[in-house]
Structure 1
């Protein structure tokens, strides 16, 4: 594979993976206990400083969040059980406001350990200040998927004329192969439309 082709593939795969994975509400991680929003909220509650949390909400909700934060700090003084309940209520309030800001529904706070690996890798890249390892992983995964779909489709095409069943098998592979590559291309081209499949 030439260096130029690999760079183009890198651009395609990275853009498609990040756009399709990170922009999809199903892969949201701001509502997880180990996601960036609640992790930062835990630090803010420990320090008593809400300032770092305000970036996660619109300016119009700063007052409401600050009020909830201050009430949480007061309740936390009543003991461990009260602190746990107050923290959980504050996390829910914070995430609900943040999700509304994103235009996404609030479906509750999720337990730790359920963040998609792609999102974890994207966050790790930011923490380390280096994205090359993540991009290489995305490119390798894209290349494997595209090559596998291509080879299966090509093999099925060579047998498609043997019987209607073999022809249908080819069509099934063909649809998956073409739509997969079309979806990637549409992301790169900035087209929002894609097939339902």
Structure 2
């Protein structure tokens, strides 16, 4: 692949390849214990400063969240068990408000260790302030998948006229090939919804 073609491919698919996993509710991470929302909530509770946490909720819900935060800080003082329960309740309140802000339902707090690797890589790139490594991996994965689907379809096409069964095999491969690229193009063109839709 030429350098110019690789750069063009990078520009076209990097956003879409990252958006594909983000478009699936199963990969949401704002409701995970080790996701960015709860991680920041834990820091806010430990410091007693709700300020940095307010960015995760709409302005109209700031007062309700602040009230829950203050109550949580009071209950945390009672005992270790009280702190654990109060924290969990606060996390649920925060995530519920945040999910509603995204237009997504609250389905509970997810355990740590279940965040999709693509989302972890996206977050890591933001933390490191560098995206080139991530983009290179995205392009490599996209290229590998596209070549695989293309080659299977091309091989099936060459046998398509041998029998109706071989023809159907080609059609199955063709549909998968075309829909895969159509989905990628839709993401690039901005035809997808928010990351939880």
Distance 1:9 1:111 in 2: 36
Q: Is the 8 A contact 1:122 1:134 kept in 2?
A: yes
Q: CA deviation at 1:192?
A: 4.7
Specify the SS of the correspondent of 1:41: helix
Which moved further from structure 2: 13-22 or 127-136? 13-22
Residue pairs, 1:129-168, within 5 angstroms? 129-168=129-168
Q: Is the 8 A contact 1:156 1:173 kept in 2?
A: yes
Instruction: Provide the TM-score with structure 1 as the length reference.
Output: 0.94
Q: What is the match of residue 83 of structure 1?
A: 83
Q: What is the match of residue 73 of structure 2?
A: 73
Instruction: Provide the TM-score with structure 2 as the length reference.
Output: 0.94
Stretches of structure 2 lacking an aligned partner (at least 5 in a row): none
Within the alignment, does 1:28 sit opposite 2:67 as a pair? Answer: no
Distance 1:94 1:143 in 2: 39
Specify the SS of the correspondent of 2:49: coil
Within the alignment, does 1:45 sit opposite 2:45 as a pair? Answer: yes
Q: Is the 8 A contact 1:34 1:112 kept in 2?
A: yes
Aligned length: 193
Q: CA deviation at 1:161?
A: 1.1
> Cα deviations across residues 36-82 of structure 1 (Å, max 9, x unaligned)?
00000000010011111000001100110000001001111111111
Q: What is the match of residue 10 of structure 2?
A: 10
Stretches of structure 1 lacking an aligned partner (at least 5 in a row): none
Distance 1:189 1:38 in 2: 32
Q: Cα–Cα, structure 1 residues 136 and 169, in superposed 2: closer, same or farther, change >3 Å? A: same
Within the alignment, does 1:184 sit opposite 2:187 as a pair? Answer: no
Q: What is the match of residue 174 of structure 1?
A: 174
Distance 1:159 1:23 in 2: 36
Distance 1:86 1:191 in 2: 41
Q: Is the 8 A contact 1:14 1:139 kept in 2?
A: yes
> Cα deviations across residues 116-172 of structure 1 (Å, max 9, x unaligned)?
100000000000000001000100000000000000001111111111111111111
Q: Is the 8 A contact 2:18 2:138 kept in 1?
A: no
Q: What is the match of residue 121 of structure 2?
A: 121
